[in-house]
Amino acid sequence: MTEQTVSSAVAVRDTGPAAMVEQYRTEYAALVPSHVNADQWIRLAVGAIRGNQDLEQAARTDVGVFLRELKTAARLGLEPGTEQFYLTPRKSKAHRGQKIIKGIVGYQGIIELIYRAGAVSSVVVETVRERDSFRYVIGRDERPVHDVDWFGGDRGELVGVYAYAVMKDGATSKVVILNRAQVMQAKAKSDGRNSDYSPWNTNEEAMWLKTAARRLAKWVPTSAEYLREQLRAQAEVAAELPAGDGPALPQPSVDLPDDDESGEDEGPIVAEFVDDDEPSTGWPEAAKPGQGAAR
């Protein structure tokens, strides 16, 4: 960075992270997909920081990290500070234990990317609790039968989660089903699982849904363009940005590992079907009428 760029970045930083987002409005507007309202996206990003003191302090620790995470959300066209794209404070060893911002694609974000591929008419992602009735036999049932007594009081603890998609031709995708042990295995791979701010601790059910949605995304057409951008945005610390009216976005002070809250490799998902040669163990493997993005 030139001395002038550094000076400009420092000057903006002194006004706060939210003001920095406004400062780089042109750059972010150039990154979001054409179907996304850039002004609304900026308002969401600014509101997420201004409305949370912990997030604002974490953003100040390394503003380059904060702005980089917003770049990921912008390229994906996902709403920052929502269940599409979480913004969470995370302790960083490289910053001597101070908190920095970590962006995490949520289950609603994954489902949104599935819809963008244009091949599905609906996505179902649902958790199962111990007092629910759940039936699914591989090779016999096209889709799970999940009965819930919505007015019967406590449904009990989470015991499983499933996800599947209905294609536009009416066919059902591979059904993904995970039991508690399998979800806990995914959680154990998450570096941030013990953080007070981790979605595993602040919104556990959403992380169960995300784990199933991620598995489903391997079996249905997904927007490869957006996932490639996600991989690129997370891998690059100093990604190039289109020229804008303001100074270039400041970069993180250090390289940070891109750990994922679901404990799984993000990886690009190509927009094509994969042969179902995966053996079924435990529960068969797939979303939620109420919480999934069924349309």
pLDDT averaged over every residue in the chain = 77
Mean pLDDT of 220-248: 54
Q: What percent of the chain has pLDDT over 90?
A: 52
Query: Which DSSP helix (H) or strand (E) runs through 99?
Result: strand 99-105
288, part of any domain: no
**CA–CA separation, 267 and 227 (whole Å):** 8
Of 261, 257, 253, 288, residue with least CA distance to 65? 253
Assign 280 a pLDDT band (cuts: 50, 70, 90). very low
Please tell me the total count of domains within the chain: 1
247, part of any domain: no
Least confident range from 33-37, 101-105, 218-222: namely 218-222
**For residues 59 and 13, which has the higher predicted lDDT (pLDDT)?**
59
Amino acid 170: pLDDT: 94
Amino acid 118: pLDDT: 85
Amino acid 91: pLDDT: 87
25, part of any domain: yes
Assign 27 a pLDDT band (cuts: 50, 70, 90). very high
Mean pLDDT of 142-165: 94
Residue type, 190: S
253, part of any domain: no
Mean pLDDT of 33-39: 91
275, part of any domain: no
Amino acid 249: pLDDT: 59
* Residue pLDDT, tens place only, 178-217: 999 999 999 998 877 777 778 888 889 999 999 999 999 9
Amino acid 21: pLDDT: 93
Domain holding 50, by residue range, is 3-235
- In the DSSP assignment, the letter for residue 127 is E
**For residues 16 and 161, which has the higher predicted lDDT (pLDDT)?**
161
Instruction: Give every CB contact of residue 294 below 8 A, 6+ residues apart in sequence.
Output: 122, 123, 124, 287, 288
Amino acid 231: pLDDT: 54
Q: Map tokens 């990154």 to a residue.
A: 31
**Residue 294 confidence (pLDDT) above 60:** no
Residue type, 274: V
Q: Map tokens 């000076």 to a residue.
A: 7
202, part of any domain: yes
3-state secondary structure 25-76: HHHHHHHCCCCCCHHHHHHHHHHHHHCCHHHHHHHHHCHHHHHHHHHHHHHH
Assign 122 a pLDDT band (cuts: 50, 70, 90). very high
**Residue 275 confidence (pLDDT) above 70:** no
- The per-residue DSSP string of 128-180 comes to EETTSEEE--TTT-SS-EEE--TTSS---SEEEEEEEEEETTS-B-PPEEEEH
242, part of any domain: no
Per the CB < 8 A criterion, the answer to whether 190 and 199 are in contact is no
Instruction: Give every CB contact of residue 227 below 8 A, 6+ residues apart in sequence.
Output: 113, 266, 268, 269
Mean pLDDT of 146-154: 91
188, part of any domain: yes
Amino acid 240: pLDDT: 47
